[in-house]
Amino acid sequence: MTDVIKIAVVGPESTGKSAMSAYLAKHYQTVWVPEFARGYCENLTGDCTWQDEVNMFHGQLELEKEYLPKANKLLICDTTFITIKIWSDEMFGQAPQEVLDMLPEHTYDFYLLLNIDLAWEDDPLRNFPTMREHFMQVWHKELKALNANYVVVSGQGQARYDAAVEAVDVFLGK
């Protein structure tokens, strides 16, 4: 199904990626791919390992494949496996080679990089409340390295959702 446009909703922790993905899917009457890592990490009994990162990479790709045929012209993705690269670089000093190899091959048509202008919400799976600016810069760097078509989405409440819809509409030429 190559005629489906893939829109990735990305950004540092606690920027509203899941809520934004759900909102966009409803707005555009399509489906959204949840973040595989969230469910995976909720079931971990210890610290995340290198193999866990590889497993999450494969899990995210599989989820996207599963949801793709259900998409109505747009597939909204709540994060991407670029997150695996970013976390692996931070936690282990490097990312799995298979993740690095797939980055240029498995791209998205458009990325919404959610800004860190929302208040931090504590969550057992969030680890870096004081490093949001750092990770925002990392996201810019990673998206630029992929020559990705992206826009930063800012704002509070409905204004944030409206800004995302406007960005997508501009991308789609509406």
Q: Write out pLDDT tens, residues 10-25.
A: 999 889 999 999 999 9
pLDDT (0 to 100) of residue 93: 92
Domain enclosing residue 49, as ranges? 5-172
How many domains would you assign to the chain?
1
pTM of the model: 0.91
Report the sign of the C-alpha dihedral through residues 55, 58, 63, 64, in that order. Answer: positive
* CATH number (domain holding residue 41): 3.40.50.300
Residue 84, C-beta contacts closer than 8 angstroms, at least 6 positions apart: 37, 53, 56, 57, 60, 95, 96, 99
* Cβ–Cβ < 8 Å for 136, 22: no
Q: Is 124 helix (H, G, I), strand (E, B) or coil?
A: coil
* Cβ–Cβ < 8 Å for 33, 45: no
pLDDT (0 to 100) of residue 127: 61
Q: Rounded to an integer, what distance in angstroms lies between the CA atom of residue 137 and that of residue 134?
A: 5
Q: Rounded to an integer, what distance in angstroms lies between the CA atom of residue 77 and that of residue 150?
A: 14
Q: What is the mean pLDDT of the chain?
A: 89
Q: Using the predicted structure, report yes or no on whether residue 94 has a pLDDT greater than 50.
A: yes
Reported as a pLDDT band with limits 50, 70 and 90, residue 55 is confident
Q: What are the strands of the beta sheet with 31-33, ordered from one edge?
A: 31-33, 74-78, 5-10, 110-114, 150-153
pLDDT (0 to 100) of residue 100: 92
DSSP type of residue 79: S
Lowest mean pLDDT among 5-9, 46-50, 81-85, 97-101: 46-50
